Structure 1
Amino acid sequence: MVNTMDKQTKIGFLFMIFLAVALFVSAEVSALELNPFANSKTFVPELKEDMSDFLKEDFNSKYGVIQLSKTMLWFETDRIAEYSLTENTDQCLINCESKGKAVLYTDGKLFDNKYFLNKKGVEVEIDSQYYIKENETYYEDVPQYKEVCSFVETTSNNTLKEPILKEPISQEVCTQEVVGYDKVEKTREVWNEYNFETLKAGEYEWKIIGSKDISQSVDFIPVAHGKRLNEWAWWNNDWEFKRLINLTANVGNFSYLYEVPYSENMQEDYDDLIFTNKAGTEEFNFTIQSYNSTSAIVRINSLGETEIYMYYGNPLATSASSASDTHFN
């Protein structure tokens, strides 16, 4: 009886030592990670052999890859999913977007939730939506043609006889006429809203779009399989200057041609220009048509507004100019 108690005491003592060591090794451990069977998260800043080929294709060393795995007694077992961030609007005034890829190794949700934190670490609410790229089937009416021929009489000068005679000639003329339509099945890639549905195991392209206040800089944090993916990037606002522009002559017009005089606070190629409505709630599409060292000619899709704001003075910004999004009138 004594020997049995001694063995139980030793086993209990060894287990307590194991538990203490495990907790000591985890320098920063959350309440969830105290669970020896909780999912684990590993941030991989560089390409690794065990990384999915799908993620390697567009690997961005600036953001790395996040791997999620199941655990047993804190030891990783089966891989659950991998996530990468491939593109991000590090500088965005209102409209922000991030794109990435993911691999689900088992059926499950791609994301569980999302959070946004300001620079003080306080959670803020912004209008946002996840999307995933999917193949969509659609049908297109393809015309079916039939060759239709008929004889047409024409006249021709006969230069071999005297006097010149005009003789009728019967000539066959054929044309292609539409005789019906066939519905042909085709596929195309589209971005569909993702609202935390369960997906099949596989490879996915995802994106998140958000609209924040002009004054905000936010850290966007996706949540997947109970883990916050907080290793990635911010949506920053580092524009230092704004100028009120009067477009009185623009009443009723969609777009307006405006000459922007160069300021020493602007980027030399005017890439830091952003235009918004006066309320600061909507960005306008615009196109920089030409520029030099003294000014830039910009066509702004101002939707008929007569007073708008121009933001500039951000050395980190990339151009938001887009000809395809600017309506001409």
Structure 2
Amino acid sequence: MNRTGTYLKLHFARVKATQLEAIRSRFGSLDKAVEASQAEWEKSGILTQRQLERLFDDELSERLQQAEAWAQQENHHIVCIEGEAYPPMLAEISDPPILLYAMGKVELLSDPQIGIVGSRNATKYGISIAKDFAEYFTKVGMTVTSGLASGIDQAAHEGALHSERFPGTTIAVVATGLDRVYPASNRDLAYKISQVGVLVSEYPLGTKPLAHQFPERNRIISGLSLGVLVVEAALKSGSLITARLAMEQGREVFAVPGSINSPHSKGCHQLIRQGAKLAESGQDVLEDLSGLIELSLSDEFTSLSSSFNQEKTAEKLSEEGLLKWIEYEPISLDELSVLSKWPVSEIQSQLLILEVTGRIEAMSAGRWRRLK
């Protein structure tokens, strides 16, 4: 059985990442484990009775075939925890999913991300703020991650997609199978994200929206992100669960303040009292995350394609390598691409580092100029 098939069998049994090492130790490998008999599994004592029932369910073979057929379609992906496409930030959390279904640009999962979450019953103010923050983050080269819910989530995705400079850098983490859209009113938005961003889920095809899956989903939003921004949240809301998970995962948490009389702001104010950072602008968030962004991008740069020799790679990693083409007069991305002969994706990443470190600033119409 191939690696994807092996992980799918364990995934359908709802095996946790924390159980994988014990499975390898007992059976020698995951491949050998999924071929073992039910008696051998029962003797190992690794899985719960419910997990064993799922692993040896008569319908398991049909579900495997369905998932593998789905993954054969264009831009459909099954990402295993030990595969190259699995996002490294997510792999660091205490309970990462062993497998992800993704529809769209799967490489975005490993990009530097900011999570934006908030109330489903958002005010016009909150929706406007979420869109403005998301558009700003996308403009400076970050990916916006949210949960495709109504209200703030929807506004965050729409703001990211609206950016004139780098449209489409948004990830929707959903709490259903990827063959469903919840809420149904976001069907068109989900389709657009699947075309220019990426939809992702840990749940098998056909999974309905059940209440307990939404807080489970939230750990993926925070796990993928360098930080999480909360825009409008009541005192008892899923957004506060996401913020708590982010704190437990060592992520930065930001909250947008609002009126002291608004119930939509009380959750944000509570977060600020508990140590979340007050965010009045996207720049506030970017300044706090600049070190993490630079480290993330540097890690990405170290794995550049072997088609470039070490001398050329070192030149590309040098801030001066790009700065030498950026003067005090604004210059566009297209002009930088022609002058440097670097891939656009690498120019965007380097521009983000230079911007957050205060060496250049973004101008209108997708241009930059040197500050110092």
Q: TM-score, normalised by structure 2?
A: 0.27
**Could you say which structure has the higher strand fraction?**
1
Which has the greater radius of gyration?
1
TM-score by length of 1: 0.30
- Give the helix-richer structure, 1 or 2: 2
